[in-house]
Amino acid sequence: MFSDSLIEKLAGVLPSEQTRVSLQNDVVQLFEEMRESVYRYVLSLGLYPPQAQEATQEVFLRRYAALKQDKPIQKPPGLGCAGGS
């Protein structure tokens, strides 16, 4: 039904199940390592705990979505690195 070249092209565009699972695992690992730090940071911005929990989850959901679409994460303007050059 489909030509081999079309299937190869689609395979290159569509993420494989293995790639998707790998991305999920990477984000889950990142979440486990960083969630407390992100949560504390968001709390320091003045959000109430339920809002901070939602914002923390949103950070990791956006990271997964960006990785899934192979987009780099852009640092918002005005956010500097402490001790950076």
Confidence of residue 47 (pLDDT cuts 50, 70, 90): very high
What percentage of residues in the chain have a pLDDT greater than 90?
Answer: 29
Condensed to tens digits (0 to 9), the pLDDT of residues 5-26 reads 545 554 454 556 667 778 788 8
Measured in whole angstroms, how far is the alpha carbon of residue 69 from the centre of its chain? 10
Helix pair angle (49-68, 17-44), 10° resolution: 150
- Domain ranges for the chain, please list them: 16-68
